[in-house]
Amino acid sequence: DQQVKQNSPSLSVQEGRISILNCDYTNSMFDYFLWYKKYPAEGPTFLISISSIKDKNEDGRFTVFLNKSAKHLSLHIVPSQPGDSAVYFCAASRNTGTASKLTFGTGTRLQVTL
């Protein structure tokens, strides 16, 4: 039972354009969402998060949008850079406590081309 889904396994975007990565979840108890970036043979690196009390959080080139009614979140990267090429995972937890377990999506491989 995949509670967090990333339906696009890959995405290719031209440098300078916007990258939009999507994530859907099924468990309405999730109330904290995160995006991680992962390079091969490395652990995930935290990018940005959002609490369910918000619908948008922005940090530099990265913006996360949350649509609770649709159980959908997205990560926008603008402008996209070649160094953004990696696998992006969304993750969800049931509360913002520091010891909360994370449920991960299957990841989207982003390729930013020149």
Partner 1 sequence: GAVVSQHPSWVICKSGTSVKIECRSLDFQATTMFWYRQFPKQSLMLMATSNEGSKATYEQGVEKDKFLINHASLTLSTLTVTSAHPEDSSFYICSQAGQQGQPQHFGDGTRLSIL
42 touches partner 1 by CB under 8 A? yes
| Residues 94-113, interacting with partner 1 (CB under 8 A) | 96, 98-107
Q: How many CB atoms lie within 10 A of CB 51?
A: 12
Quote the least distance from Cβ 16 to partner 1, whole Å. 29
Give the residue with the Cβ less far from partner 1, 42 or 114: 42
Residue closer to partner 1, measured from CB, 17 or 56: 56
- Contact with partner 1 (CB under 8 A): which of 23, 89, 92, 110? 89
Residue among 91, 88, 113 nearest 101 (CA): 91
Contact present, 19 and 76 (Cβ < 8 Å): yes
| Largest Cα–Cα separation, the chain | 41
C-alpha–C-alpha distance, residues 29 and 25, integer Å: 10
Which residue in 41, 69, 83, 114 binds partner 1 (CB under 8 A)?
A: 41
Count CA atoms within 13 Å of residue 20 on its CB side. 6
Q: Which is nearer to partner 1, 81 or 96 (CB)?
A: 96
Residues that bind partner 1 (CB under 8 A): 2, 4, 9, 34, 36, 41-46, 49, 89, 96, 98-107
